[in-house]
Amino acid sequence: MKKYASLIFLAFLLNGCDDGDLTVDQINFDSVTPVSCSTATEDQTNTGPKILYKLKPQEAFILQLPKANGLINDPGVYTYDIDANGNGQYRVLYRAYNGTVAKDNICGTIPPSSPNVTEEWIGTAGKIEISTAQYAEPEDVNGATRISAYNHTITFRNITFLKPSGPQVQAEFDFGVYKVDVPKADLTFQNTDTGEAFKCDDNKKIYNYNASFTLTVENLDPALLLNEATPPNQPRSQAVTTTTNKVVYRNFVNGSGSITNTYNFCTDQIPTLPLLNETWIGADTDANRKATIEVTTEKIGDDTFIHTVVLKYVKLTKDQSFFQLGNSFLLGKITVKTTL
């Protein structure tokens, strides 16, 4: 991504300026949607800046943000200072060209030799305000929701453009809404055919997983896993909290490895690989729907017990983001043999 920053703000030295075909009195990209030089997947491993841009046939409007503290996929309002010099990370640039401009003029490793820049405006002061909202699909019949996107509404406030004719200040300038699609958490476990879940030897952690995520209940009250059959329709039930019976959903960076049965689920510190991407913590769905864990135990034969673990009304949260597991979510069935 560093190549993009160098290209955007230095390529005009290669292209040169040409008193030419298009001169501009004001910037107007109201009908154009911002796009990015990189995808959300690429952003997981890139360390360079994020480049957003808007194109018209002979014009480009460009915003550079740092990888961190730029576009944050979490609801809130984020404000940054536009950098006044060439060494900063929050940068705004407008260009007019003497021919048709394309993505390669903005994002290409080697910029095309044409068209040439005929006019350039550089943002030297003001604020970048980014208002972010999550988009979650409506609840399904089980009360479950999943986040599918974040919408970033970008506005420049009191921005100063340095133009060829001198500085120009604009109180408010809408850059537009940049949508980031995110993978929906499907939470389909690797053993859907058997419904099997697992526990650690100390009975303080239970878990299930797939190649890209884990779902655990940590600091579990061991009394939930007593090897005694529960009466019909009377499961053991306790509250899910941020300390006891803590529900934790973790997903991992694409391409950094996969979760398998050799992963050390029971260690106090999670393994370094695959690389952790996000951590979500269980909470109550709302004041009227308290998060609980329920365990129904069935005795099979003389020495086998099956613990069926269900999570009810669990909302998974990360900062200000959240989605709902559902009114009733099956973590799985844990089989315990009391004799070898």
Tens of pLDDT along the chain (340 residues)? 444 444 444 343 334 444 444 455 678 898 999 999 987 676 766 767 899 999 999 999 999 999 878 899 999 999 999 987 656 689 999 999 999 999 988 887 766 767 888 999 999 999 999 999 999 999 999 999 999 999 999 999 999 999 988 999 999 999 999 999 999 998 999 998 999 999 999 999 999 999 999 999 999 999 999 999 999 999 999 999 999 999 999 999 989 999 999 999 999 899 999 999 999 999 999 999 999 999 999 999 999 999 999 999 999 999 999 999 999 999 999 999 998 6
Q: Are 148 and 184 in contact (CB under 8 A)?
A: yes
What one-character DSSP code corresponds to residue 302?
T
The pLDDT value recorded for residue 113 is 67
The pLDDT value recorded for residue 110 is 65
Rounded to the nearest 10 degrees, how much is the dihedral formed by the CA atoms of 215, 133, 67, 128? -160
The pLDDT value recorded for residue 7 is 44
- For the chain, give every domain's residue range: 2-181, 198-337
Phi, psi of 336 (to 5 degrees): -125, 130
Whats the size of the chain, residue-wise? 340
Amino acid at 170: Q
Rounded to the nearest 10 degrees, how much is the dihedral formed by the CA atoms of 277, 281, 286, 288? 150
The pLDDT value recorded for residue 38 is 82
Strand order in the sheet with 236-239: 236-239, 292-300, 304-312, 329-337
Ordered DSSP codes for 13-61: HHH-B-S-S---SS---TT---EESS-HHHHTT--S-EEEEEEETTEEE
Strand residues in the chain grouped as ranges (E): 35-36, 50-56, 59-65, 76-81, 91-97, 117-136, 147-163, 166-181, 198-199, 205-210, 213-218, 236-239, 246-252, 276-284, 292-300, 304-312, 314-318, 321-326, 329-337
Q: Are 90 and 81 in contact (CB under 8 A)?
A: yes
